Structure 1
Amino acid sequence: MREKWNQRYAEQDISKPSPASVLADYSYLLPATGLALDLACGLGGNAVYLARQRLDVTAWDISDVAIARLNSTAKTEGLLLRTQVRDVELQPPTPISFDVIVVSYFLSRSLFAPIAAALRPGGVLFYQTFGIEQPAGSSGSSNPQFRLQPNELIKVFSDLRVLVYRDEGLVGDSSQGLRNTVMLVAQKV
């Protein structure tokens, strides 16, 4: 698995890694201080964004190439963050560890419960990934195992307070809006 992701990240151009839309669009829901985790961070667009918001950031990914590139970006920008090459499915976050958790375009259903448990009281989860309903020619895996069912995030994170949920699916004019993507922002109360 690591080799697959190392190859993908070695070939990817990252002049500026960008944050997930769910994080950029709803950043006003971030706490002023706290410990944030970018889980399965890839090239670290979310981690960099969180560090710019002055949060204490940890970023994990299975790819040592992605982590090396993120470390280089952070050094260039003078940002402090902790990174770790880590298989999050084998080493999920520990309970009550983070004030913010961001997951973007990574789906491992076995991690839903550990992610919710890892939030501290008042902690906020930002989650964005592909939905099962997809317009023709859209990006992401065609394997339904790696796509969310309608309302799946609301159901699995039902113990959290939903602040934002967005899943437009194929309703209406699918050439407009944010299609092929599901977003959730939820808080542990």
Structure 2
Amino acid sequence: MNMWNKRFLNEQYVYGTEPNEFLAAMQRKLNVSGNALAIAEGEGRNAVFLAEQGMQVTAWDYAESGLAKTEKLASSKGVTVHTKLVDLNEADWQMHKEKWDEIVCVFGHFRTELRNKTLQGVKEAIKPGGYFVTEVYSYNQIPYKSGGPKEEDFLYKPEEFLDNFADWRIKHFFMGEVVRHEGMHHTGLAHVIQFAGQKPVE
């Protein structure tokens, strides 16, 4: 059993049930509709929020317990989220080429090699005109006491977004301090990267 499966076995939603503040703000600003994919989605708070906005949402995670809690939360809110057990190491992004109107990733942290593969997969999987929205901890997060990985290899650098998505329309980019209160593990002042980009319409 992986560590995330163990963590999410708790009845309590360890990252809360409310959506990430940045995602919620960008969703209002961008007014996206259609099909959304939430990757490394954990217990489903962001996927459920997107479904509440009228999107058709699929949540990927590799913790079965997290996906079960996603379905439970969606049911309690009167919406539907399709869940799929996916290890991003094995994700076949080619099967999802230009499938999604929006992909979101909130505090999804992986080692550099998998991160690069995932970001390239995201680029391929979003439809022309669609959006990628993410908030993650930056490489400056380690001294902060508010959560996130303690190994730099799991943390993001700005060029990972600015270089990989250089041909996209960048709707929002920020790196710096924010305050987050998201359950018991993301609490307090944090150093993050926020990115929202739109894939060019060819």
Q: TM-score range by the shorter chain?
A: 0.7 to 0.9
Instruction: Please say if 1:185 is aligned against 2:196.
Output: yes
In the TM superposition, residue 140 of structure 1 has moved relative to its aligned partner by 1.0
2:189 and 2:77 map into 1 onto residues whose CA distance is: 30
1:136 and 1:40 map into 2 onto residues whose CA distance is: 22
Letter of the 2:86 partner, please give it: R
In the TM superposition, residue 8 of structure 1 has moved relative to its aligned partner by 1.1
Structure-1 residue corresponding to 2:169: 161
1:100 and 1:47 map into 2 onto residues whose CA distance is: 11
Q: Secondary structure at the match of 1:180?
A: strand
Instruction: Please say if 1:78 is aligned against 2:64.
Output: no
| TM-score, normalisation: structure 1 | 0.87
Match runs of 1:1-189 below 5 Å: 3-11=2-10, 13-14=12-13, 16-93=16-93, 94-107=96-109, 108-134=115-141, 135-168=143-176, 179-189=190-200
- Relative distance call for 1:92 and 1:19 in structure 2 (3 A) is farther
- Greater shift after overlay, 52-61 or 100-109? 100-109
1:105 and 1:150 map into 2 onto residues whose CA distance is: 15
Q: Deviation digits for residues 81-118 of structure 1, max 9, x if unmatched?
A: 21111112211442101001000111322211110111
- Greater shift after overlay, 76-85 or 133-142? 133-142
Q: Which runs of 4+ in 1 moved over 3 A?
A: 29-32
Unmatched tracts of structure 1, length 5 or more: 171-176
Structure whose residues are more often strand by fraction: 2
2:168 and 2:105 map into 1 onto residues whose CA distance is: 16
Unmatched tracts of structure 2, length 5 or more: 110-114, 179-187
Q: Deviation digits for residues 53-79 of structure 1, max 9, x if unmatched?
A: 000111110010000111111112210
Q: Deviation digits for residues 103-155 of structure 1, max 9, x if unmatched?
A: 01113222111101111011011011110113442421111111112443212
1:76 and 1:126 map into 2 onto residues whose CA distance is: 25
Native 8 Å contact 1:132 1:150 kept in 2: no
| TM-score, normalisation: structure 2 | 0.82
Root-mean-square deviation (Å): 2.2
Letter of the 1:36 partner, please give it: A
In the TM superposition, residue 157 of structure 1 has moved relative to its aligned partner by 1.7
2:124 and 2:32 map into 1 onto residues whose CA distance is: 21
Structure-2 residue corresponding to 1:174: none
